[in-house]
């Protein structure tokens, strides 16, 4: 049963990050679906809280899940017992809301049970076999959907500081917004089958399909492009197994199952072989770490113990750890510590090939985070340095604990340390971040202003002096309006409307009605123009000259003869169109060319916080800094030193230029696993960059 808890916890942990994102998005969407402003604010605040604290929520859920499953197992074994409720699991809700919660949870759990009826029936049969009954009742199944829904609700209540928001999460839960029970039930059934618990169910209709180590559903969640070269090659490596005999089974799989059915004797033989291999690895866990350890273990393994897939797993992981040992950005002490995890990581990859397919696999993330942390360590620091102690503590945790869950626990611990460091860094860097944010906000305001003006004048139909005015002065007006958009959203509307009124006012008016309309709209237009120009402090002679030209233009429009024949009106329209086309061509000829997007620009856009970069001035000492903050538009970057002090702030263009001129170099530790796999499979640089970006994300 402990093994079941571990396998199910692992299945939940790999998908909980994705579930947290979906729950946060659902909370945000709910703000628009309620007419109650107080409730809408609760949804909005809760979404922001969850997005900002996703890892504490994840860690709390992992702890609560294990405690809840163990309690449910105790109840299943002895229904008369009343085990203690996990600490903080229950939060009081008002009576009417508690009834609402129970009904909602019951409705959702029933829907999930119906969707996965075959898997649940098979699990009930297998658990019943363990408990000595024909088939376990659903209410006594420790792994029924209701349990996981309760874990989500209880975690939410323990996580959220506002009791008034305890009801928000359970009301959003549904079969589509919950944990993936297919993967959870698959993990439970797979564990029991490997233990020899009813590998062949008596009723074919009750068969729960069992997959190989590669789960299509898990692959889909990673968001990988099916044409991705690495993914394709890995699938070929781990699905084409020449040494394995074809599996024969008469078990029928459900039409909606994503997992192929493998319940023949060959499956049990393969499971026995896997256990024998894991037992062998347990004996060599404490071997001294070195770059060729995995190759040595593979070579010395008993003959016939390794399948083709096992050998390929050894080879690929050997490449990954070779990259660790050869990474000069890592101090040698850190390389040794990470290298000592070769056998535990191998065991995790042999047990679940998702290590190669999913960037969120706990063991894979632990290796990546330890490598990224290691770059920051200074060997001159004291032995009790928190960073080094975090690395050392989690390496020892994984080495001493053969459970796969040890990687998940280590991941949560490392992430908690990173979150704490990031919080401290943001406090220290608050001032430079505020300055960079102000620059970014103004830059975006200028871009929006220029775009608005360009949309009006790129047609070539606006008279020259108004066109110059809009480019020279009204861009400043719109920039001001966009800068205060958050506090005064009506400002942008007013500035754009005034610009449109001005453009309309200088166009020819061929009817008396149009001219009367112009005369009526001129006073408020002139008042708004002056109001905005006062705000940008345009007080020189140019302002007087502009209004003089504008008055003359309006006068000429009003005085133009009205008795124009239709033919003459068409001629004037054609002349205006030709003139507009000529002006449009002139503008295009004068326009500055778009900046070239090269590989360095792309690399800057792919950077993520935590990436290390070395700046090498022409005459100076190289400076290693960490990317601490990126502006919302990715136009400004703030870097910090090891001491979390501001090192420098750069625009995206300046950073790309530094990379282009080789005055800056992105350290290669980020995306270490991805690069090693790409290199092992002969992937080109473009794919390499793509994988590195995915890993950083």
pLDDT in tens, 459-482: 767 888 998 899 889 999 999 999
Cα 369 from Cα 448, distance rounded (Å): 38
**Domain 597-696, CATH class in plain words:** mainly beta
Average per-residue pLDDT in the chain?
80
pTM: 0.53
Average of pLDDT values for 416-426?
81
Q: What angle do CA 332, 337, 338 make, to 5 degrees?
A: 100
Higher pLDDT, 459 or 395: 395
**End-to-end CA separation in angstroms for the chain:** 36
* pLDDT for position 225: 44
Among 262, 264, 126, residue whose Cα is nearest residue 185: 126
Alpha-carbon Rg of the chain, whole angstroms? 33
* pLDDT for position 571: 66
Q: Which of 122-136, 264-278, 362-376 has the lowest mean pLDDT?
A: 264-278
* CA–CA distances in Å: residue 197 to residues 188, 189, 260: 11, 9, 19
Cα 694 from Cα 223, distance rounded (Å): 10
DSSP 219-258: HHHTT--TT-HHHHHHHHHHH--TTSPPP---PPPPTT-S
Higher pLDDT, 229 or 508: 508
Contact (Cβ atoms closer than 8 angstroms) between residue 20 and residue 46: no
Cα 108 from Cα 620, distance rounded (Å): 64
Average of pLDDT values for 616-627?
82
**Token pair for 393:** 């503590």
Contact (Cβ atoms closer than 8 angstroms) between residue 20 and residue 57: yes
DSSP 120-175: HHHHHHHHHHHHTSSS--GGG-TT-HHHHHHHHHHHHHHH-S-GGGTHHHHHH--S
Among 64, 66, 56, residue whose Cα is nearest residue 87: 64
What is the crossing angle of helices 490-505 and 512-535, to 10°?
Answer: 130
List the chain domain ranges: 2-201, 308-428, 435-590, 597-696
Among 186, 117, 106, residue whose Cα is nearest residue 147: 106
* pLDDT for position 392: 92
Cα 429 from Cα 628, distance rounded (Å): 9
* pLDDT for position 669: 54
Q: At 241, is the pLDDT very low, low, confident or very high (cuts 50, 70, 90)? A: very low
Q: At 30, is the pLDDT very low, low, confident or very high (cuts 50, 70, 90)? A: confident
Q: Which of 75-79, 134-138, 269-273, 499-503 has the lowest mean pLDDT?
A: 269-273
């Amino acid at each position: 049963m402990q093994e079941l808890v571990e396998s199910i916890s692992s299945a939940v942990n790999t998908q909980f990050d994705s579930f947290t994102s979906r729950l946060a998005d659902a909370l945000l969407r709910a703000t628009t679906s309620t007419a109650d402003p107080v409730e809408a604010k609760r949804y909005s605040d809760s979404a922001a809280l969850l997005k900002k604290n996703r890892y504490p929520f994840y860690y709390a859920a992992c702890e609560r899940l294990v405690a809840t499953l163990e309690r449910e197992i105790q109840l299943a074994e002895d229904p008369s017992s009343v085990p203690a409720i996990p600490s903080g699991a229950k939060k009081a809700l008002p009576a009417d809301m508690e009834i609402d919660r129970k009904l909602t949870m019951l409705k959702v759990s029933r829907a999930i049970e119906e969707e996965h009826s075959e898997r649940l029936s098979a699990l009930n049969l297998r658990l019943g076999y363990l408990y000595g009954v024909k088939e376990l009742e659903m209410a006594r199944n420790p792994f029924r959907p209701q349990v996981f829904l309760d874990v989500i609700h209880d975690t939410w209540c323990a996580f959220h500081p506002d009791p008034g928001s305890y009801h928000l999460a359970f009301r959003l839960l549904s079969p589509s917004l919950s944990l993936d029970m297919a993967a959870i039930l698959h993990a439970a059934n797979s564990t029991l089958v490997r233990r020899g618990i009813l590998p062949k169910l008596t009723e074919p209709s009750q068969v729960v399909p069992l997959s190989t180590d590669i789960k299509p559903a898990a692959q889909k969640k990673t968001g990988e492009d099916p044409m991705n070269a690495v993914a394709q090659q890995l699938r070929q490596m781990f699905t084409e197994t020449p040494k394995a005999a074809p599996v024969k089974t008469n078990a029928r799989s459900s039409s909606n199952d994503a997992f192929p059915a493998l319940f023949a004797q060959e499956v049990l033989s393969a499971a026995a072989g896997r256990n024998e291999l894991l037992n062998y690895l347990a004996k060599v866990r404490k071997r001294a770490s070195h770059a060729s350890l995995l190759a040595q273990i593979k070579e010395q393994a008993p003959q016939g113990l390794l399948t083709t897939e096992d050998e390929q797993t050894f080879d690929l992981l050997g490449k990954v750890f070779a990259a660790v040992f050869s990474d000069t950005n890592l101090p040698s002490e850190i390389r040794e510590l990470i290298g000592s995890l070769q056998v535990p990581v191998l065991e995790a990859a042999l047990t679940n090939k998702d290590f190669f397919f999913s960037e969120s696999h706990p063991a894979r993330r632990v290796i990546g985070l330890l490598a990224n942390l290691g770059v920051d360590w200074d060997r001159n620091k004291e032995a009790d340095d928190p960073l080094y102690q975090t690395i050392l503590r989690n390496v020892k945790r994984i080495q001493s604990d053969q459970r796969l869950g040890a990687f998940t626990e280590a991941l949560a611990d490392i992430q908690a340390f990173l979150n704490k460091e990031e919080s401290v860094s943001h406090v220290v860097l608050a001032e430079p971040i505020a300055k960079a944010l102000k620059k970014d906000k103004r830059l975006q305001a200028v871009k929006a202003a220029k775009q608005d003006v360009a949309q009006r004048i790129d047609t070539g139909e606006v008279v020259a002096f108004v066109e110059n005015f809009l480019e020279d002065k009204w861009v400043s007006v719109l920039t001001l309006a966009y800068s205060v958009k958050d506090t005064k959203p009506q400002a942008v509307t007013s500035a754009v409307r005034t610009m449109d009124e001005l453009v309309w006012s200088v166009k020819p008016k061929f009817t008396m009605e149009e001219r009367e309309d112009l005369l009526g709209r001129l006073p408020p237009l002139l008042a708004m123009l002056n109001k905005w120009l006062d705000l940008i402090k345009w007080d020189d002679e140019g302002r007087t000259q502009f209004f003089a030209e504008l008055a003359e233009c309006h006068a000429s429009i009003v005085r133009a003869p009205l008795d124009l024949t239709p033919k003459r009106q068409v001629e004037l329209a054609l002349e205006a169109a030709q003139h507009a086309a000529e002006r449009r061509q002139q503008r295009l000829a004068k326009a500055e060319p778009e900046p070239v997007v090269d590989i360095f620009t792309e690399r800057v856009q792919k950077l993520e916080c935590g990436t290390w970069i070395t700046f090498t001035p022409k005459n100076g000492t190289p400076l290693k800094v960490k990317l601490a903050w990126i502006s919302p538009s990715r136009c400004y970057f703030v870097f910090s030193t090891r001491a979390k002090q501001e090192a420098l702030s750069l625009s995206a263009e300046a950073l790309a230029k530094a990379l282009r001129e080789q005055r800056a170099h992105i350290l290669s530790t980020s995306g270490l696993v991805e690069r090693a796999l790409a290199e092992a499979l002969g992937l080109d640089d473009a794919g390499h960059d793509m994988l590195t970006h995915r890993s950083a994300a």
